[in-house]
Structure 1
Amino acid sequence: MRLQTIIGLIIVTAAASACGQNRAAPTEYTPNLDAGKTDERQLNDPNRSTIWDVFNTANAEQITNVNRYLWTASLDVLNFLPVQEVDPFTGVIVTGYGTPPGGGRQYRATVHISDPALAARSLSVSLQTSGGAPVSAATTRAVEDAILSRARQLRIADNKF
């Protein structure tokens, strides 16, 4: 039993050490004559890979923590608009066109919550009209203020103030 364990460890070690060895050798190498610097071709070689590349998360999709009060308040305030897409991982809500109560013009909204803080800097609202007419900055600001006010009410009601 001990011999099988030792042989198994040798096989696993050999397999792990061979992971980065299937690279083609460069056809020519010019040493860098500047002392203390590495050759940039070695660093930027697309064939260069190691077992540690599995843990490289530089190209992973960015995930943002979303403030739950801003998220819920956005859906509450814009409840007259049909929701088309939501992505709670990146903090984006996209709605379809709808008419606000007492209004005559149709709007659609895109909300982006970019930070876990309950603050104005965390919230970005973009409004569009169905006719292509520009939406005034005051209207967009009023919607943002309504969402922020509702989020504060939800937080107070949750006894976390």
Structure 2
Amino acid sequence: MKLLNTPSKAMLIMTVCLATAACGNKGGGIRVGGESPAGGNIAHNRETAPMNYERSSIWDVFGPNKADTNVQVNRYLWAASLDVLSFLPVQSVDPFTGVIITGYGTPPGGGRAYRAVVHVSDPALDARSLNVSLQTQGGRAVAPATSRAVEDAILTRARQLRVRDKKL
């Protein structure tokens, strides 16, 4: 005995899809930047938030994306990160998201192998735009002071690169 024929199945599936779409999130959505419902600031300001997502239903996923998905990174921080960590083999580089992933390598004069993940998140040349994660070959995170020292070296080199460009 057939319970549903093919057109009835298609109509049932379409009804379920439309009912799901009608349960959209009116005004809630995912937000990056602006204020939280509790009144606190989610990001530093709207200019530092890379994207602003507000989705109200499932159908918005299939429509054109109106959000600006280009994340700008500071070119001096980017170049300085590659320069300071040049002793590490580069595994992955994504300038669109600002992520550099390296393999394990030993620093000059050091005995322990490290690996780094660098994230340059903003076009500003300051410490908030840079995040460095270091890991030993045993899989353990390094001391926060070591990560901070590498970040400081990258920031110093980035400032040197900027000063050198201003002299041209």
Q: TM-score, normalised by structure 1?
A: 0.65
- The runs of 5 or more residues in structure 1 that have no matched partner are 1-24, 27-39
Q: Cα RMSD over matched residues?
A: 2.8
Specify the code of the residue in structure 2 equivalent to 1:135: V
Question: 1:56 corresponds to which residue?
Answer: 65
Q: Deviations over 1:110-131 (max 9, x none)?
A: 0000000000000000000002
Structure 2, gaps ≥5 residues long: 1-13, 16-20, 25-55
What's 2:126 paired with?
Answer: 119
What secondary structure sits across from 1:89 in the alignment?
coil
Q: How does 1:138-149 map to 2 (within 5 A)?
A: 138-149=145-156
Q: 2:103 aligns with which of 96, 113, 129?
A: 96
Distance in 2 (alpha carbons) for counterparts of 1:128 and 1:142: 14
Deviations 1:29-53 (A, max 9, x none): xxxxxxxxxxx9386775x68xxx6
Equivalenced residues, count: 119
The equivalent position to 2:159 in structure 1, one of 149, 152, 157, is 152
Q: From the superposition, tell whether residues 45 and 125 of structure 1 become closer, same or farther in structure 2 (CA, over 3 Å).
A: closer
Based on CA coordinates, which of the two structures has the bigger radius of gyration? 1
Identical counterparts, % of pairs: 67
Shift of 1:138: 0.6
* TM-score normalized with structure 2 length: 0.62
- CA 1:45–1:138 in structure 2 vs 1: closer, same or farther (change >3 Å)? closer
Partner in structure 1 of residue 117 of structure 2: 110
